[in-house]
Structure 1
Amino acid sequence: MRNRFSVILGLSIMILFVLGITLSAVSQEKTYELKVSMVITEDDTIYKGYEKFKEGVEKRTNGKIKVELYPAGILGGDEEILEQIALGAGICVNTDAGRLGVWVPEIGILLCPYLTDTVEEMQKLLKSDLAKEWFEKLRKEKGYVVLAFNWYAGGRHFITKKPISKPEDLEGLKIRTPGAPVWQETIRALGATPVALPWTEVYTALQQGVIDGAEAQHPATYGSKLYEVAKYITLTGHIQLWNAPVVGEKWFNQLPPEYQQILFEEAEKAGDYATQLLLDSLDELEAKMTAEGAIISEVDTKPFKERAEAVYQKLGYEELRRQIQDFLKKQ
């Protein structure tokens, strides 16, 4: 009886083993499509990073994951795309901490003004276990998978129709910014009135006088030619914008584990690549915009930083900010 049981057990284990191999082989034969949605243009260094991401993913999966890039908001706005992702769509959206921070407040601090002093400090924070805890919370609670958060898009500066040299110059101006609380409160603290508009509508809104200015990083400003309708660019660097490729857990969980790991690894590699491209291109972008009529000015950022303190108080980020400062001191 005992021998018979052993034989049955052995056969069962063998069947499960063979079945596992078969299922794994089937999953490896299946192909997947991933559409990457972004509002930036093809000239942007972030877009070039996604070209590198596409190349790496398709090569390492032997084409089993096909990546298609959709710039300039072709697929729709981030909020709309995030809704589709939550339902299981095979879309990756290039987004930021402002939007994700609506669901996980800790992530929102990444867009708070003057959070770190250098790009290197922010890179350490974004790749730390502290930040990864926030991203894991987003996955568990909302079903969004952050593939990497090391895609540097640049410092945010003001683009206005009149020159700005101090926060008081912003008073009474309607400045376009995304609708998430951290964006809105930052612009309000610095003295202007925030106006939420889709990025694709900013040029026309400036042209028609609906808004008096906007705030953006150099690649986006250059790509959308905003300086044609608002020629003053003031280098406040009030927000350091970092982007992240985000997919839905429902779609992500369909992938074999090795493909999931490839997405994580290639997203981080491409993020580092895009970051370096951006840093190497800043002087050239400023030269191009100046040649086309933009007036770019440096300012004393101290009064802007002093006003920005109100954002941390307003959004309840004072304690979390202290944790981040302690973390960076130890690095």
Structure 2
Amino acid sequence: MSIITRTWRVAALGFALATVAGGALAADYTLSVNTALAQQDPLYKGLEEFKKNVEVRSGGKMAVRLFPGSQLGKDEDVLEQARAGAGVAVVVDGGRLAVFVKEFGVLGGPYLAQGYDGIRKVVTSPMFDQWSDKLRKASGHQVLSFNWWQGERHLLTNKPVKGPEDLAGIRMRTPGAPVWMETIRAMGATPTPMGWSEVYTGLQQKVIDGVEAQHPASFGARLYEVTNRVTKTGHINLITGLVTSAAWFDKLPPEQQTILKEEALKAGDSASRATQASLADFEKQMKEKGVTIEEIDVTPFRKATAPVYEKLGYAELHKDVEKLLQN
């Protein structure tokens, strides 16, 4: 992207944010947070908590504006705006950050850790802090916290799935990051990158045959209307982070920087625990909508996806993460 194009995009975004934010202009600093999540998602509730606590604790000097449903654009576009120094942040997975620092990609690896407590141990470790420092230098992004757990991802289809052989020929929507693509390919399906906002119509129009997602997102997107079966593979433990511009962050007074990081960590924990507590209810509601929730033996999928780490050059890092999880 040329400097002129990037400058134009930042200027255009700045005008849009100023127009939408309105009252935020009274604050000394404004952070606009973009997320693909719907407002009923437990993680979005966490973002609301983050907003409230930052604004109260900063005494009104800091304003946070939330934009659900990717109102500010795709994650990649907002990450680009952050690189250019805009006061924006995005809830994003490690796969999308791996284009800048490869280590982040391992977070989306198959069967990496169990549940929130497992993956949290990784993203609050000194090892992860080193990745975050590399990210600042490589791309100009600042991680506020990376403990926003969205749940384990499962398969949504209109046919029964017991093992990898049942996914042959199935066009499965997944994000376009290499580790996600290779995981779905290893599971037996044909990975098909597609924006989340396009998934419902993609299934409806049979552009894709299935999707892999966590319960809060699939229910929020009403995918129970276009699929009738959830197979609980739990193949990816989806952990995401709140990532902003390092250049913008560095201009803040130290006390405001501390507030943002501490409140992001607190709200991430709160949102993740709420996600944990919500999963059974989401399953109950999906069953009431006519969806079959199927528990299966995931061993064949574990075996099929094990080579993904070596294929993508994560074999040694995977071992390091496993050691961390065992301590």
Alignment TM-score, normalising by the size of structure 2? 0.91
Segments of structure 2 that go 5 or more residues without pairing to the other structure are 1-25
- Larger radius of gyration between Structure 1 and Structure 2: 1
- Note if 1:256 corresponds to 2:253: yes
| Partner-residue secondary structure (3-state), 2:152 | strand
- Note if 1:155 corresponds to 2:152: yes
| Partner-residue secondary structure (3-state), 2:268 | helix
* 1-structure distance, mates of 2:197, 2:27: 36
What pairs with 1:136-151 in structure 2 (closer than 5 Å)? 136-151=133-148
Conservation of the 8 A alpha-carbon contact between 2:116 and 2:272: no
- CA distances 1:218-271 after superposition (whole Å, capped 9, x unpaired): 000000011210111110000000110100111111110110011000000000
Aligned with 1:200 (options 183, 197, 200): 197
* 2-structure distance, mates of 1:206, 1:54: 34
What pairs with 1:2-13 in structure 2 (closer than 5 Å)? none
- Note if 1:323 corresponds to 2:320: yes
* 1-structure distance, mates of 2:173, 2:215: 15
- Note if 1:50 corresponds to 2:79: no
Q: 1:12 — aligned with what? A: none
What pairs with 1:154-303 in structure 2 (closer than 5 Å)? 154-303=151-300
Q: 1:118 Cα shift?
A: 3.9
* 2-structure distance, mates of 1:174, 1:118: 27
Q: 1:201 Cα shift?
A: 0.3
| Partner-residue secondary structure (3-state), 2:59 | coil
Q: 1:119 Cα shift?
A: 2.7
* 2-structure distance, mates of 1:40, 1:118: 20
- CA distances 1:31-70 after superposition (whole Å, capped 9, x unpaired): 1111110011001111011001001100111111111110
Identity %: 49
Structure 1 residues 110-119 or 165-174, which shifts more? 110-119
- CA distances 1:184-230 after superposition (whole Å, capped 9, x unpaired): 00100100001111000000000000000000000000000112101
Alignment TM-score, normalising by the size of structure 1? 0.90
Q: 1:30 Cα shift?
A: 6.5
Q: 1:88 Cα shift?
A: 1.2
* 2-structure distance, mates of 1:119, 1:308: 21
CA RMSD of aligned residues (A): 1.1
What pairs with 1:16-95 in structure 2 (closer than 5 Å)? 31-95=28-92
- CA distances 1:145-184 after superposition (whole Å, capped 9, x unpaired): 0100111100000011211111111110000000110110
